[in-house]
A and B are shown apart, each in its own frame.
Chain A
Amino acid sequence: MISLNGYLIISFCLFLAGMTVMIARKNIIAILLGVELILNAAALNFAAYTRFVNQNLDGHVMSLFIIVIAAAEAAVGLAIVIRFFQIKETIHIDDATELQS
């Protein structure tokens, strides 16, 4: 059986991967993917802690809500990206330079 530490290490790796993607990639879609990785790391943590530390349902409910809200956030984020693409015809984050003082 996998111990709690196993889950925590995996989720931390997911978290690091997400951070790396967000910092290193310049593609907006890739950044949104990085956000999803971080959210999944948190959801995995919640599920693991509920299983091993306290036996009530709080953590499971948190994980379910994280999945739902992440989907909503991704939908809105992608809609805005599409709008941005239609105007500028690029999804490179470095091209978002209109608003710099």
Chain B
Amino acid sequence: MALNYLASISHYVPELILCLTMAGLILIESAYDRGVKGSAKGMMYWGAYLGLLCSFVYLFKALGTEPLQIFTRSIVIDSFGTLAKMIMVLGTAGAIFLGRQSLDIYEEVKSEFVILTIGVLIGGMLLVSANNMLLFYIGIETLSILSYVMASLKKNDERSSEAGLKYSLYGGVTAGLMLFGMSHIFGVLGTIQFTEIIPAMAALTKAQALVLMPAFLLFFVGIGYKIACVPFHMWSPDVYEGSPLPVTNFFSIVPKIAGIVAFVRVTNTFFGGDASIVRETWVVLLMIASALTMTVGNVAAIGQRSVKRMLAYSSISHAGVMMLGVLVIDDLGARAILFYAVTYLFMTLAAFFITSFVQDHYGNDHFERFNGLMKKHPLMSIVMVIVMFSLAGLPPLSGFVAKFNILAAVVSKKYYVLAVIAALNSVVSLYYYMKVVRLMVFKDAESDEPVKGFIFSNQVVITVIALPVLLLGVFWEKLIVIAGGAKIFLQ
């Protein structure tokens, strides 16, 4: 169902609230000069939280309503996108909380960090609800361009500006390749509207469809870059390492989930039709890419010294697992991805929070810094242990349920080899996750001095974030039902 412009706006409230929040924050930031900025800081954060909360409430209200195409069918509001947006809003709130505490971002650019995160969030929301190629491109570029700035937020740091440089060069190239692919898809199919692509593809002869394959490949480059799948992952470890830690935390949640969710939508709207040679080729391509992504991410994570870089590689391999849910091209896969995204959000947030406070205390985040944390901060160590087990996918934690769902979707399509590869990767990942646990529990600390960041309020927040990791492992039915009800709008 299509709506006119005025009626469309009432369905676009969450994004509009965030746009207003961002504009308001820019005004607040420019209204105070450096001297009194301390008082403006609180206002910045509370303004941001308020905007995110309002947006979240409106998204929650929109959950489960009939799918709608708004703004002359360029944007689709369906439960699938809405649930993904809710996950991203939560991730942004977590990143802002960490950004306020972290010493890794200079004090004078903290307000910029808040503004930029909300900007990236708006881009991500555009991307997951895009219903034609134009909006898809705008979404991906809003997401990327602001991310380049965030990566080089530590202005005088050599590594940070190099991270921004690499990110922007890779990003520009892949965006160009994606557009070139899009232009040929548009030329052959005669439409940029996602909903019209399946009928247009059905009308093509086999030879014409094969000619389209290179164009789809180029299109895949653009998305593959955003979710850092092999072979377009080269930028990812460098950017994740060079950026300040709260930015890394943000990058491994919001752009990644937005990319995966948009990928699911694109794959379903392009290839959701009858089995064809193009669809088969696409699935084989994704199989190779996802198997490589899982393996490369895991193998590279083993040798790392820095926990942040280890988490960056592990987020690459998690993207590989999520891609398994993309390549099955059905509702089961979409449901598994949404569930995975929720658990991934909480696990990543908790792991990065703890790493950040340890890093702020010791000045670096090498594995040895976790030595003997169990004696000094038992609660935080237990949370870290739970999160690490869950990231590795051990029962009875939520990471296991998430992986199990993905594997169930894969097995139902009879891709047994992929399921075996994913299970083996889970075992490999256990090695480096256990390394953190082993150091925390069995090694002696260098000093008895408690970590400064773990004050009472932070411990409460980290524990609350980690609770869903534990609870969703046992009480997962409810979330599965919600995620299963969040269908993708096809036509």
B46 to chain A, nearest CB (A): 29
What residues of A have a CB within 8 angstroms of the CB of B192 in the complex?
58-59, 62
Q: Are A53 and B190 in contact (CB under 8 A)?
A: yes
Most buried by A among B187, B191, B192: B187
Question: Whole-angstrom distance between the alpha carbons of A100 and B203 in the complex?
Answer: 49
A43 to chain B, nearest CB (A): 8
Question: Whole-angstrom distance between the alpha carbons of A46 and B164 in the complex?
Answer: 30
Q: Main SS of chain B's interface residues?
A: helix
Candidates A53, A73, A93, A100; contact of B172 at CB < 8 Å: A73
Q: Are A73 and B149 in contact (CB under 8 A)?
A: no
Q: Are B173 and A35 in contact (CB under 8 A)?
A: yes
Residues of B160-186 contacting chain A, CB below 8 A = 161-166, 168-169, 171-173, 175-177, 179-180, 182-184, 186
What residues of B have a CB within 8 angstroms of the CB of A72 in the complex?
141, 145
Question: Whole-angstrom distance between the alpha carbons of A68 and B145 in the complex?
Answer: 13
Q: Are B176 and A99 in contact (CB under 8 A)?
A: no
What residues of A have a CB within 8 angstroms of the CB of B162 in the complex?
84, 96, 98-99
Candidates B141, B164, B173, B180; contact of A69 at CB < 8 Å: B141
Q: Are A84 and B161 in contact (CB under 8 A)?
A: yes
Of B234-242, B269-277, B401-409, B434-442, the one with at least 4 CB within 8 A of chain A? B234-242
Residues of A49-84 contacting chain B, CB below 8 A = 49, 53-54, 58-59, 61-62, 65-66, 69, 72-73, 76-77, 79-81, 83-84
A23 to chain B, nearest CB (A): 10
Question: Whole-angstrom distance between the alpha carbons of A19 and B162 in the complex?
Answer: 22
Question: Whole-angstrom distance between the alpha carbons of A38 and B169 in the complex?
Answer: 13
A residues near B, CB below 8 A?
A: 11, 15, 18, 22, 28, 31-32, 34-35, 38-39, 41-43, 45-46, 48-49, 53-54, 58-59, 61-62, 65-66, 69, 72-73, 76-77, 79-81, 83-84, 87-88, 93, 96, 98-101
What residues of B have a CB within 8 angstroms of the CB of A49 in the complex?
183, 186-187
Closest 6 CB pairs of A and B: A38-B176, A45-B183, A42-B179, A49-B187, A35-B172, A99-B238
With A35-B173, A35-B176, A38-B177: A84-B183 Cβ-Cβ less than 8 Å: no
Q: Are A73 and B175 in contact (CB under 8 A)?
A: yes
**B131-169 contact mask (Cβ, 8 Å, vs A): 1 or 0:** 001100110010011001100100110110111111011
Number of contacts between A and B (CB, 8 Å)?
A: 125
Q: Are B191 and A58 in contact (CB under 8 A)?
A: yes
Q: Are B152 and A83 in contact (CB under 8 A)?
A: yes
What residues of A have a CB within 8 angstroms of the CB of B155 in the complex?
83
Interface status of B369 (Cβ within 8 A of chain A) = no
Q: Are B148 and A77 in contact (CB under 8 A)?
A: yes
Interface status of B463 (Cβ within 8 A of chain A) = no
Closest to A34 in B: B173
Question: Whole-angstrom distance between the alpha carbons of A48 and B183 in the complex?
Answer: 10
Q: Are B161 and A87 in contact (CB under 8 A)?
A: yes
Candidates A69, A80, A101; contact of B137 at CB < 8 Å: A69
Candidates B133, B134, B152, B182; contact of A80 at CB < 8 Å: B152
Interface status of B458 (Cβ within 8 A of chain A) = no
A72 to chain B, nearest CB (A): 6
Question: Whole-angstrom distance between the alpha carbons of A38 and B179 in the complex?
Answer: 9
Interface status of B304 (Cβ within 8 A of chain A) = yes
Q: Are B186 and A77 in contact (CB under 8 A)?
A: no
Q: Are B242 and A98 in contact (CB under 8 A)?
A: yes
With A39-B179, A77-B172, A99-B238: A53-B187 Cβ-Cβ less than 8 Å: yes
What residues of A have a CB within 8 angstroms of the CB of B165 in the complex?
28, 80-81, 84, 96
Interface status of B309 (Cβ within 8 A of chain A) = yes
Q: Are B148 and A80 in contact (CB under 8 A)?
A: yes
What residues of A have a CB within 8 angstroms of the CB of B156 in the complex?
87
B336 to chain A, nearest CB (A): 32
What residues of B have a CB within 8 angstroms of the CB of A81 in the complex?
165
Question: Whole-angstrom distance between the alpha carbons of A54 and B185 in the complex?
Answer: 13
What residues of B have a CB within 8 angstroms of the CB of A53 in the complex?
187, 190
Q: Are A101 and B179 in contact (CB under 8 A)?
A: no
What residues of B have a CB within 8 angstroms of the CB of A28 in the complex?
165, 169
**B22-48 contact mask (Cβ, 8 Å, vs A): 1 or 0:** 000000000000000000000000000
Q: Are B180 and A31 in contact (CB under 8 A)?
A: no
Question: Whole-angstrom distance between the alpha carbons of A83 and B242 in the complex?
Answer: 15
A67 to chain B, nearest CB (A): 12
Q: Are A38 and B164 in contact (CB under 8 A)?
A: no
